[in-house]
């Protein structure tokens, strides 16, 4: 492309005069010709000035510019401290579905949902009228057995012994009379005065009286010796059996009232009065509200740093409570790859929390990883999700510097700085700010 030089001012005046002579013969166009001549005389110098300024700008653009930049020296670290928050939930120590061990008619439910109850407080009752009747019958049998036992332990009375002795004497007298009568019958039988049948009757009568006398003497001896120990033990066993039966009825009566096994909150009332329920059927659900726990899943590496007895702040909504590490469960959740840490909350937290609420614990930990801290202003977006930092390199022997990008990966970010790793080396000088003004290979003037 050919560029023509603009005419000089004398040439422009000459052209204007010739134009005036040519059009002087036409009066109507004289005014228009004068205006054109004026433009030629005035405009050409202006054009020359603009072209001259443009040429000067092009000349200046060809000269390299040096940008002053703030720099820092790369230093590596072995890790960093950070505080991470982990989320879990409030879990009650115990939660029970309470019911009766026997069936029957439910006559009273003494609590409502949301009630806070103390340990041992009655919650519900069954009808016990049949048990009370059964107990009365057993009490009567027990009284009878106990009276017999007391009689056996006291032994025979003096009157019974005297009566037994009198019976023995009476039978001895009757036996003596029988013997005398038999002797007489034998004498008469030898004389033929009585028959053999009459003699046999007296003989058998004597034997019967002898047996009665032996029995009476044995009875007297038994009374004189007192009650046998075996009889006393046997009767005592009868009494104990009845006592056990009464105790069993008492246990059933006690179990006809459901009592709170621990202090807690009534979470659900499942049955109303008048219902005939079976053994084991749930009536109310009780959730413990004393000394609640926070169960939070924590990465294995972080969980290994926890020690039993350590205290950690636990946040629940806008409130913060102090919690103690009581356990770190050994099993790792196969889905979240975390271990369950158990935190015991202060007793003061009981009125403010309920089981199932979300809690967060913040744990300070040291992450062992090598990297370099850089200001976020020193980083610029790179391809494939990476970032770049501009490193100063020597351009020539005149101590001029150029900037070249080095790819880095952000490991951790805090406020206005980031921990990165990549191709940076210790001692490298990195542009600390204003990287958006730079391009690779640009010459810069470093400022520490």
Domain boundary assignment for the chain: 9-61, 67-79+369-447, 86-91+289-368, 101-125+258-287, 134-251
**The domain defined by 86-91+289-368 carries CATH number 2.40.30.170:** yes
Strands of the sheet with 95-99, listed across from one edge: 95-99, 282-288, 264-269, 116-117
As given in the structure block, the two tokens for residue 150 are: 């007391």
Domain 67-79+369-447 identical in fold to domain 101-125+258-287: no
Cα angle 210-216-221, degrees, rounded to a multiple of 5: 125
Its pTM stands at: 0.46
Q: Nearest to residue 296, comparing CAs of 274, 262, 257, 326?
A: 326
As given in the structure block, the two tokens for residue 151 are: 């009689």
Q: What is the rounded distance in angstroms from the CA atom of residue 109 to the CA atom of residue 125?
A: 7
pLDDT for the residue 14: 47
CA distances from 376 to 342, 379, 420 (A): 38, 5, 10
Q: What is the rounded distance in angstroms from the CA atom of residue 410 to the CA atom of residue 397?
A: 34
Top-tier CATH class for 101-125+258-287: mainly beta
Q: What is the rounded distance in angstroms from the CA atom of residue 439 to the CA atom of residue 396?
A: 18
As given in the structure block, the two tokens for residue 155 are: 């032994």
pLDDT for the residue 20: 44
Q: Which residues contact residue 369 at a Cβ distance below 8 angstroms, ignoring those fewer than 6 apart?
A: 78, 79, 80, 411, 419, 421
CB 268 within 8 A of CB 113: yes
Tens-level pLDDT at each residue, the chain (448 residues): 334 444 444 444 444 455 444 544 444 444 444 444 444 444 444 434 443 344 434 334 445 578 888 999 999 999 888 888 899 998 866 788 999 998 999 999 999 998 989 999 999 999 999 999 999 999 999 999 999 988 888 777 778 778 888 888 888 888 888 787 777 777 777 777 777 777 677 677 777 888 888 888 888 887 777 667 888 899 999 999 999 999 999 999 999 999 999 888 898 999 999 999 999 899 999 988 766 788 999 998 888 888 899 888 888 888 888 888 999 998 998 888 999 999 988 777 776 777 788 899 988 888 888 999 999 999 998 777 789 999 998 866 566 788 999 889 898 888 889 999 988 889 999 999 988 888 888 888 888 6
CB 95 within 8 A of CB 267: yes
Encode 328-350: b = buried (16+ Cβ within 10 Å), e = exposed.
beeeeeeeeebbbbbbbbeeebe
CA distances from 362 to 82, 157, 222, 369 (A): 10, 88, 89, 21
Q: How many CB atoms lie within 10 A of CB 185?
A: 19
Q: What is the rounded distance in angstroms from the CA atom of residue 185 to the CA atom of residue 194?
A: 7
Q: What is the rounded distance in angstroms from the CA atom of residue 393 to the CA atom of residue 211?
A: 140
As given in the structure block, the two tokens for residue 330 are: 């050994």
As given in the structure block, the two tokens for residue 232 are: 């006393």
Burial class (CB in 10 A: 0-12, 13-18, 19+), 303: buried
Q: Which residues contact residue 249 at a Cβ distance below 8 angstroms, ignoring those fewer than 6 apart?
A: 131, 134, 135, 138
pLDDT for the residue 109: 94
Q: How many CB atoms lie within 10 A of CB 400?
A: 13
Q: 67-79+369-447: which CATH topology?
A: 2.40.420
């Amino acid at each position: 492309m050919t560029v023509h030089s603009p005419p000089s001012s004398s040439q422009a005046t000459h052209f204007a005069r010739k134009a005036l002579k040519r059009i002087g013969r036409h009066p109507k166009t004289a005014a228009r010709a004068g205006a054109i001549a004026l433009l030629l005389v005035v405009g050409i110098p202006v054009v020359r000035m603009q072209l001259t300024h443009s040429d000067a700008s092009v000349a200046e653009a060809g000269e390299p510019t040096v940008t002053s930049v703030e720099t820092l020296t790369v230093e590596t670290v072995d890790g960093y401290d950070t505080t991470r928050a982990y989320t879990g939930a409030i879990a009650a120590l115990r939660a029970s579905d309470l019911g009766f061990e026997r069936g029957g008619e439910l006559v009273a439910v003494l609590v409502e949902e949301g009630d806070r109850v103390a340990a041992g407080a009655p919650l519900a009752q069954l009808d016990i009228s049949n048990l009370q009747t059964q107990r009365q019958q057993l009490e009567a049998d027990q009284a009878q057995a106990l009276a017999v036992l007391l009689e056996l332990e006291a032994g025979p009375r003096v009157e019974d012994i005297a009566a037994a002795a009198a019976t023995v004497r009476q039978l001895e007298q009757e036996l003596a009379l029988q013997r005398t009568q038999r002797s007489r019958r034998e004498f008469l039988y030898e004389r033929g005065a009585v028959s053999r049948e009459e003699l046999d009757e007296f003989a058998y009568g004597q034997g019967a009286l002898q047996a009665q006398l032996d029995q009476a003497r044995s009875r007297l001896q038994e009374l004189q010796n007192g009650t046998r120990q075996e009889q006393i033990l046997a009767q005592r066993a009868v009494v104990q059996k009845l006592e056990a039966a009464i105790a069993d009825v008492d246990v059933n009566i006690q179990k006809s009232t459901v009592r709170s096994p621990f202090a807690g909150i009534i979470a659900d009332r499942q049955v109303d009065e008048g219902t005939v329920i079976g053994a084991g059927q749930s009536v109310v659900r009780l959730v413990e509200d004393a000394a609640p726990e926070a169960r939070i899943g924590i990465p294995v590496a972080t969980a290994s740093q926890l020690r039993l007895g350590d205290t950690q702040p636990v946040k629940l909504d806008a409130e913060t409570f102090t919690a103690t590490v009581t356990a770190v469960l050994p099993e790792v959740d196969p889905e979240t790859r975390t271990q369950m840490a158990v935190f015991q909350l202060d007793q003061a937290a009981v009125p403010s929390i309920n089981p199932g609420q979300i809690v967060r614990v913040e744990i300070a930990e040291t992450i062992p990883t090598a990297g370099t801290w850089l200001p976020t202003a020193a980083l610029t977006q790179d391809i494939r999700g990476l970032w770049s930092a501009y490193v100063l390199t020597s351009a020539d022997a005149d101590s001029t510097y150029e900037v070249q990008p080095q790819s880095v990966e952000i490991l951790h970010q805090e406020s206005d700085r980031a921990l990165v790793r990549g191709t940076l080396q210790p001692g490298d000088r990195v542009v600390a700010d204003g990287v958006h003004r730079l391009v690779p290979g640009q010459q810069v003037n470093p400022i520490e």
